[in-house]
Amino acid sequence: MSLIKKNLRNIYPIFYNKLFSQIIKKFNFKKPLRVLIFHSIKDTEKFNRLIKALKRNWHIITPNEFFHLLDNNIEVSKPSLLITFDDGFKNNLKILSILDNYSISALFFICPGLVELESKNLLFPLFSKKQFRLKSNYEEIKLLNWDDLRFIQSKGHSIGNHSSFHYQVNRLLIKELQEDVNLSKNLLLKNLEFNKSFDSFSYPFGGVNHINLSSLKYLSKTFKYVFSGIRGNNNCSRSKIIFRDAVSLDDKIEITESLMKGCFDIYYIIKSIKLIF
Ligand SMILES: [Zn+2]
């Protein structure tokens, strides 16, 4: 990241936060309905601190409450937030007790093809092969297996689809995407208890450059809810994709709060305009 970009990422949200707090007092804006994305959680203490801070200003809703709001185009009356995890990292097990303490029901998007390999102890040999150039410690990238996921479901959380093998979807032919998605759907149904979130898909990588119109068209027909990694407010949104905010636990909480107040939304709306309308 260039120095200018880095400073913009760290300083602008703090100005925005201060300015926005003043403006919101004068105008009655639509309340936000946002979705957070977490991935691997290496520091449970930082995660705990962030959730504690968010609980002060946000009403954290369950996946089913979120779907109900979308299905019925209901405008939220207070800032509302859904918490999601992508990729199904094994270390997500460590934060279940924190979610439990705050009575949070989260949505875990997993890659059933990779889970199947992990459950059969085939993933590590695959990652060890030269072409994958494994940079991280395997423990940090170890994935949840089917037993872990059944345990997560038993704790009141939901499981969604993140494709079978985490390919960059816009590089696949629709036929290949169809095969990948069919396999992932079958593996979820075979190994886990059915939940409404099986009808939800989160784009691997999820940025504007990873989503194209043909995959979005196919996925919107195949799943009721298609989640992206593009920032934005979902309150009564007419978009085909659901916006989400990726957060870093290394950021100051003030920066995360500002991102969630939408400090970069306009930038993402302009970048993704062809996908949204
Ligand atoms: Zn992912």
User: Is residue 182 scored above 90 in pLDDT?
Assistant: yes
Q: Quick one: pLDDT at residue 100?
A: 98
Q: Measured in angstroms, how far is the CA atom of residue 163 from the centroid of ligand 1?
A: 9
d(CA 251, CA 50): 10
Q: Is-contact 51 215, C-beta < 8 A?
A: no
User: Is residue 130 scored above 60 in pLDDT?
Assistant: no
Q: Which of 37-46, 110-119, 124-133, 167-176 has the least mean pLDDT?
A: 124-133
Q: Measured in angstroms, how far is the CA atom of residue 21 from the centroid of ligand 1?
A: 33
For tokens 């934060």, what's the residue?
95
Q: Measured in angstroms, how far is the CA atom of residue 124 from the centroid of ligand 1?
A: 18
Q: Quick one: pLDDT at residue 240?
A: 85
Q: Which of 115-119, 121-125, 180-184, 245-249 has the least mean pLDDT?
A: 121-125
Q: What is the DSSP string of 46-80?
A: HHHHHHHHHHHH-EE--HHHHHHHHHTTPPPSS-E
H helices then E strands: how many in the chain?
A: 13, 8
* Averaged pLDDT, 127-154: 78
Q: Which residue has the higher pLDDT, 19 or 231?
A: 231
Mean confidence (pLDDT) of the chain: 89
**What is the percent of the chain with per-residue pLDDT over 70, rounded to a whole number?**
85
Q: Measured in angstroms, how far is the CA atom of residue 109 from the centroid of ligand 1?
A: 8
Q: What is the pTM of this model?
A: 0.90
Q: Is-contact 83 96, C-beta < 8 A?
A: no
What are the pLDDT digits (tens) for 188-231?
A: 999 999 999 999 999 999 988 999 999 999 999 999 999 999 99
d(CA 101, CA 99): 5
Q: Measured in angstroms, how far is the CA atom of residue 246 from the centroid of ligand 1?
A: 11
In which band, very low, low, confident or very high, does the pLDDT at 136 lie, cut at 50, 70 and 90? low
Q: Quick one: pLDDT at residue 15?
A: 66
d(CA 59, CA 103): 11
| Per-domain boundaries in the chain | 3-276
CATH architecture of 3-276: Alpha-Beta Barrel (3.20)
Q: Measured in angstroms, how far is the CA atom of residue 24 from the centroid of ligand 1?
A: 34
Q: Measured in angstroms, how far is the CA atom of residue 19 from the centroid of ligand 1?
A: 34
Q: Which residue has the higher pLDDT, 237 or 69?
A: 69
Q: Quick one: pLDDT at residue 271?
A: 81
